[in-house]
Amino acid sequence: MIAQSWKCSSCGHVAIGLFPPESCPACHAGREAFITEHEFLFPKEETDAVIKACWKVSYGLYVVTSVQGERMNGQICNTLFQITSDPPRFAIGINRRNLTHEFIASSEVFAASILGDGDHRFVRRFGYRSGRDFDKLKGIATRIGRTGCPVLEESIGYVECALLSDKTVDAGTHSIFVGEVVGGGILKDGEPMTYAHYHATKSSAQ
């Protein structure tokens, strides 16, 4: 595993990664503007330890939904966290290729339904196929929240956010969206699903 630091020859911005960014997040110069500075080598024997340490970072699991006109869609997301409490704001990491990304970027709203620890069926439905291929919300009990986004009735609770679009971060394959909380609530008792619990139980779960 070799990560390098890349310096933008146009503005001096430094990015770390295996490859230079597609464009400079500071001055928007193209990839060709980046020159490599230093090399950080992870010796082979450290690579396994680095990967295992990454696996110890814990997450929950959520169905993140959004809208575009009359259309609605949702996807599984583990990269959601509350980034500030006053004002209450959440950040999510969403792949640019996802239909949900397209919807959030255009409507500037999203909702996150918090999955319970037995909700494997929702992960299977929302996490492995795109809404471009089929209507993932068809037949799923939902309520429409204040933002117009659907919320899963069978989740243990939800938050709804309005995007702070000037705070969206280009993270390469993903965008990091930051949203201010504009609604939410608890829908039932239950323990939230964690990413680790999902992976430990997914092969035996219904």
Ligand X SMILES: Cc1cc2nc3c(=O)[nH]c(=O)nc-3n(C[C@H](O)[C@H](O)[C@H](O)COP(=O)(O)O)c2cc1C
Report the interface residues with ligand X, using CB under 6 A. Answer: 61, 73, 75-79, 93-95, 98-100, 123, 127-132, 174, 198
CB of 142 to ligand X, least distance (A): 15
> Would you call 100 exposed, middle or buried from its count of C-beta atoms within 10 A (0-12, 13-18, 19+)?
buried
DSSP states of 194-206 as a string? BHHHHHHHTTT--
- Closest residue by beta carbon to ligand X: 127
CB closer to ligand X out of 23 and 79: 79
Residue that the structure tokens 């503005």 belong to:
11
CB of 50 to ligand X, least distance (A): 20
Q: Which of 117, 94, 113 is nearest to 105 (CA)?
A: 94
CB closer to ligand X out of 24 and 111: 111
CB of 90 to ligand X, least distance (A): 13
CB closer to ligand X out of 84 and 130: 130
CB of 177 to ligand X, least distance (A): 10
Backbone angles phi, psi at 192, to 5 degrees: -70, 145
Q: Rounded CA gap, 99 and 104, in Å?
A: 9
CB closer to ligand X out of 3 and 171: 171
SS3 assignment, position 23: strand
